[in-house]
Amino acid sequence: MPNPPHRSVNDHTPPGSIRRGMSMKASTVEAVDELLQSIAQDDMEMILLFCSPDHDVPAVLAEIARRAPGVRTLGCTTAGEITPIGYRQGTMTGLSLSARHFGTSVRLIMPMSAFEFADGPQAVKTLLAEHEPKRRRLPGARTLAVLINDGLSMREEVIVGSLGDALGEIPLIGASAGDNLAFRKTNVFLDGQVLTNAALLVLISTDLDFRVFQTQHFRPLDQKLVITRADPARRLVMEINAEPAGDEYARMIGLKRSDLTPLIFASYPLVVRAAGRHFVRAIQRIDENGYLHFFCAIDEGIVLSIAESQDLVADLNQLFEGLHRDLGAIEAVIGFDCVLRYLEMEQRQMLTEVSRIMAANKVVGFNTYGEQFAMMHVSQTFTGVAFGKP
């Protein structure tokens, strides 16, 4: 979907809290200038940046460092951006947190491929000790954790499970970086470094009230299927119900293998039941062998249900109504929305309405290759944190 004509976007939030911004300009210097004009404030604690891979990311980070020296900047590439005016492609968006209300600490996990479940407790212990002075300087502060991963690492389950367990009562949310559905290279970035095979664990303490959330809009059907041959390390399924995976999945939804596209996967997700809830096991793509590649962990013997989409707009309205009841006026929302949800919105011509909802509720974030919540790596959810007014 092409972006609408450009107009200037400025966040008029009072100084000393959270400021949001974006730019649709193609020039790196002009784009960074416009973004910083929107988000700059005195005593910035951190800049969180979500940037289309269409940009020259190293040049973007270098320009931010030149314009805002000494300000910690971190974020990732995207499969689409959620900006102050809604969903966009090929842009950059972000926010700044003021040290007046926030204290942050960051742990780089690299390489993700070498991370084991047993590594989590020490990583969290070290980061919590480093972070404690920042938490103490904000009376009454509460802490949350944000995890940003390389979206092609296929290590999210181990990392979020280990870190989420070690964090205990500290809530964890997160997302996997994207690259506009190319599935070639995703990046996270930290203070000018553009990294692959890396994750960032960010502790954020604030005296603002906040709520973490996760929502989805699917209802499981009676149709069940069993994974009968898979390669869990590659999130690859070769057989379903002892039949070729792509053919059997297509048959169960009334289609042929040749009909399968990302739009179909978004409309007919597979779900697994765990801890009394259904979690989407989203299909990323089908390959030339008819094998199905997944965004999340998959294994032989798992029983899945085919699900159908419910009213996404109504689900979002209900989510934000609840957040407003809990928080009153919302200062800002950091939101992680699966790219498959974007494809569904596009297919069903809902992007304009959902963009309006996101803008009205001050969401900044990006379309992901998966989301993290508590100790789970999932797909096809909208996950994030909403902050109340100071």
Domain spans of the chain, in order of start: 1-217+310-390, 218-309
pLDDT tens digits along 149-192? 999 999 999 999 999 999 999 999 999 999 999 999 999 999 99
Q: How much is the pLDDT for 146?
A: 98
Residue with tokens 């001050």: 362
Q: How much is the pLDDT for 139?
A: 93
| Mean pLDDT by groups of 10 residues along the chain of 390 residues | 42 70 96 97 96 97 96 98 98 97 98 96 98 96 98 94 97 97 96 97 98 94 93 94 96 94 88 82 92 92 91 97 97 97 93 98 97 92 96
Q: How much is the pLDDT for 365?
A: 98
pLDDT tens digits along 88-127? 999 999 999 999 999 999 999 999 999 999 999 999 999 9
List Cα–Cα distances, 124 to 132, 148, 150, 322, in angstroms: 12, 15, 19, 31
Q: How much is the pLDDT for 274?
A: 77
Residue 290 Cα to chain centre, angstroms:
28
